[in-house]
Chains A and B, each alone.
Chain A
Amino acid sequence: MAAATSITKEYQKFTPMENETDTEIKIEDLWVKFPDKNGGEPVTALQNINMDIKQGEFVSLVGPSGCGKTTLLRTIADLQPPSTGNISVRGKTPREIRLQKKYGIVFQNPVLYEWRTVRRNVCMPMELMGLPKKYRTARVTEMLEMVGLYNFGKLYPHELSGGMQQRVGIARALAIKPEILLMDEPFSALDEFTKEKLHEDLQTIWSKTNKTILFVTHNIQEAVFLSDRVIVMSPHPGRISAIVDIDLPRPRTLATRDTTEFNALVSKVRNSFEGV
């Protein structure tokens, strides 16, 4: 039934009234409710979410814990079913997109397979897709060069620092050329220096690959530094309280963080929270 709904929406989308051909993700009136453990009223994790994400856009979801930002990402990733409402990704359901292997996911925890070397970790999704070995080897090399880990391919995950592990995770997610990269607080466990380095690297990777990136974080500076748009979410119930356009010039560098424009945008995002 969900598929039928989405086809209807798709049909509507291509009516001449709207010009949204470059919309990647469209979310309409999305609600997610979790059943209460003690049998009481269900808890509303997401309330009336509406948003559009354009193709190639870098969008951050920022908010305090309990605001539903991770739930929203998981719903888009087809890891969490919506209670009501509709999500369409390129006119298809999240499930269809997942089955077509068009998502790359990076979690807070790098989630590497500790019995596999760095190279074989990056290779894993391509093995699952049954891609030929020669292509896989070449692609792994390409990905490791991109994240600056070419010389570390033969090591095992526990021999790497946290920052390097997260790079492996990013290389793995991008190896299968996903259309959309979903990142759930990928840098929150890293120290400040590593984080700043990875912010610049991610920016470079993004501009090279032209992926749509949805980035979940509770760090306002991080969100402002990386994004084209910051979606501010507030808790109890989880909802969108503001959408802030970030028009800072790219490429952004360490110096960008010291500009008044940057700090003004950080304040703007911070002041958009409700009821915290």
Chain B
Amino acid sequence: MGKIKKALLSKQMVIAYWVLGLVVIWEILAVIIEHTKRTPENVLPHLHQIAQSIFSKDLVNMDQTALQIVLSNTGITLQRAGIGFLIGIAVGYLLALIMNMFSWAEKVVFPYLMIIQMIPILGMAPIVLAMTKDINKSRIVIAALLTFYPVATNTLAGFKSVMKEKHELMYSMAAKKSDVYKKLLIPASMPYFFTGLKISAPMAITASILVDTLQGGGGLGCMLSQSLKHAMTIYVFWQIVFLSAIIGIASYYLMSVIEKLISPYKKVGR
């Protein structure tokens, strides 16, 4: 009996329960909404309908199928999110270095970081758009804004996590300050830095999609809002929702893979 219980509570089974539960709830809601039917299409289609729509050859606008619309708009969003992400990493890392080198900088800069981070992205997006007057630039700026804070704070925490003895060893070997960073602080903070990246990568993508919704001109978010407003089929909406979720998760795993590639040692539980 213990074995059965163990098998039923294994990690894979828990995931299976979770997926099953989601499917059941989804389908119940889909049925309920189907019966209320006030709109031309069921806003919450059955899962098999969404799956079908992915492979459907029907054109939903002039010359594209639902899937073609989704994929052709993914590129533009991801590219801007990616550029913003890289800028955010650079700015965040630089801030972490400066805050670690000068304690006054930490005192001065940190409250501002907190404030920027506390402004809801929904409120910030229109302001950034108004300031840059360009949807592409806004996507980049917002993705960068969301990225730099987790990178800066986590990297700074990484610098500070270095044990006193490791510093003392460097001191006893009369190491130059640049060597202390190059050979101790930067490598030691890598796991923390990557924690920051894993938090911010999906956020940068989400933010970029959100900025799309503010204005026409393409991008996943733009299609998302058009689809929801019945300018085109609702299946585009759901395809984008699932695709965004997959991209978000994939971006997280991409960061893990890069981390494993550049730090081959296994992490020590300390």
Contact = CB atoms under 8 A, between A and B. Distances in A.
A128 B176 CA distance: 8
B166 interface: yes
Nearest to A182: B172
B172 A128 contact: no
A125 B268 contact: no
Interface in A76-122: 77-79, 98-101, 103, 105, 107, 109, 111, 113-116
Nearest to A103: B172
A270 interface: no
A156 B265 CA distance: 7
B163 interface: yes
A158 interface: yes
Given A79-B168, A109-B165, A128 B268 contact: no
B interface majority secondary structure: helix
B183 A124 contact: yes
Contacts of B268: 114, 157-158
A105 B172 CA distance: 7
B207 to A, nearest CB: 32
Contacts of A113: 166, 183-184, 187-188
Contacts of B183: 113, 124, 127-128
A65 B168 CA distance: 21
A156 B166 CA distance: 17
B172 A79 contact: yes
Given A79-B171, A128-B175, A115 B263 contact: yes
Interface string B177-219: 0010001100110100000000000000000000000000000
A158 B170 CA distance: 21
B37 interface: no
Given A98-B172, A103-B172, A128-B183, A115 B165 contact: no
Interface of B: 163, 165-166, 168-176, 179, 183-184, 187-188, 190, 263, 265-266, 268
Contact of A128 (B179, B263, B266): B179
A77 to B, nearest CB: 6
Given A79-B168, A107-B169, A115 B174 contact: no
Given A78-B172, A109-B163, A158-B265, 15 more contacts: A101-B173, A101-B174, A109-B165, A114-B268, A115-B187, A115-B190, A124-B173, A127-B183, A128-B175, A128-B176, A128-B179, A129-B173, A156-B265, A157-B268, A158-B266
B174 A99 contact: yes
Contacts of B176: 128
Contacts of B187: 113, 115-116
Contact of A111 (B163, B263, B265): B163
A107 B165 contact: yes
A105 B174 contact: no
Most buried by A among B169, B170, B175: B169
Interface in A168-196: 176
B188 A115 contact: yes
B166 A111 contact: yes
Nearest to A176: B173
Nearest to A109: B165
A53 B94 CA distance: 47
Interface in A228-242: none
18 contacts: A78-B172, A79-B168, A100-B174, A105-B169, A107-B168, A109-B165, A113-B166, A115-B188, A115-B265, A124-B183, A127-B179, A127-B183, A128-B170, A128-B174, A156-B265, A156-B266, A158-B265, A158-B266
